[in-house]
């Protein structure tokens, strides 16, 4: 890879993942923007230095795990130097990989849901999130039960596609 290809890769990593990653790290650092930006930069540099991780699996969960580990490492380093402890969200130290994976899956599903049409999103929220029957969802949405059934069918197909585009496979 030439120098410009390297720059393009780093730029595309930042464009695609920088915003969500910064939001995640800001929550872990209790809003310390300077520290969060440093962590995001280091995380993206590590992804750039290890192009082999861009293979078959989704990149974003790897990025979030690396960022979380960097936040925890920075917190521990500061504590070992005897300095004042940087604010650290308890979730960063308590959450294991399973908790982080569940959080990332939830976040990914929420993003995919946001991409659906308002009609599709509404039937999924009523039937799955709120646990309403077809009849109850129809009454809540003011549409016939048959419409709830067909919209749910197509909404699930659209949601599956949106998740596949994000690297989540069934």
- Long-range contacts: 33-36, Cβ < 8 Å, 24+? 35/71, 35/74, 35/86
From the list 45, 51, 34, the residue with the least C-alpha distance to 67 is 45
Amino acid 84: pLDDT: 56
pLDDT reading at 24 higher than 70: yes
* Positions of CATH 1.10.10.10 in the chain: 96-170
Task: List CB contacts of 49: < 8 A, sequence separation 6 or more.
Answer: none
Here the tokens at position 32 are 């310390």
Residue 21 φ/ψ, nearest 5 degrees: -65, -40
Tokens of 137: 């969802």
How many residues are recorded in the chain? 170
pLDDT tens digits, residue range 67-103?
888 888 887 777 777 655 545 544 444 444 455 556 6
Rounded Cα–Cα distance for residues 2 and 43 (Å): 22
* The CATH number fitting domain 1-94, selected from 1.10.246, 1.20.140, 1.10.3470, 1.10.1740: 1.10.1740
CATH top class, domain 96-170? mainly alpha
Q: Are 13 and 43 in contact (CB under 8 A)?
A: no
Residues of the chain with CATH 1.10.1740: 1-94
Residue 18 in this model has a pLDDT that exceeds 70: yes
Cα–Cα distances (Å) from 57 to 29, 38, 44, 69, 135, in that order, read 27, 25, 17, 19, 40
Residue 1 pLDDT > 60: no
Q: What percent of the chain has pLDDT over 70?
A: 77
Per the CB < 8 A criterion, the answer to whether 63 and 21 are in contact is yes
pLDDT score recorded for residue 11: 86
Tell whether the model's pLDDT for residue 4 goes beyond 50. yes
């Amino acid at each position: 890879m030439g120098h410009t290809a390297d720059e393009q890769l780093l730029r595309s990593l930042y464009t695609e993942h920088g915003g969500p990653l910064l939001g995640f790290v800001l929550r872990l650092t209790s809003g310390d923007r300077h520290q969060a930006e440093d962590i995001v930069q280091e995380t993206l540099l590590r992804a750039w230095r290890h192009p082999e991780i861009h293979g078959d699996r989704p990149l974003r969960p790897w990025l979030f795990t690396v960022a979380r580990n960097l936040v925890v490492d920075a917190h521990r380093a500061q504590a070992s130097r005897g300095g004042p402890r940087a604010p650290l969200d308890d979730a960063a130290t308590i959450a294991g990989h399973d908790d982080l994976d569940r959080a990332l899956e939830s976040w990914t599903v929420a993003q995919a849901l946001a991409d659906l049409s308002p009609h599709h999103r509404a039937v999924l929220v009523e039937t799955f999130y709120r646990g309403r029957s077809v009849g109850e969802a129809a009454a809540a949405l003011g549409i016939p039960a048959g419409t709830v059934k067909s919209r749910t069918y197509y909404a699930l197909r659209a949601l599956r596609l949106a998740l596949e585009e994000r690297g989540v496979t069934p």
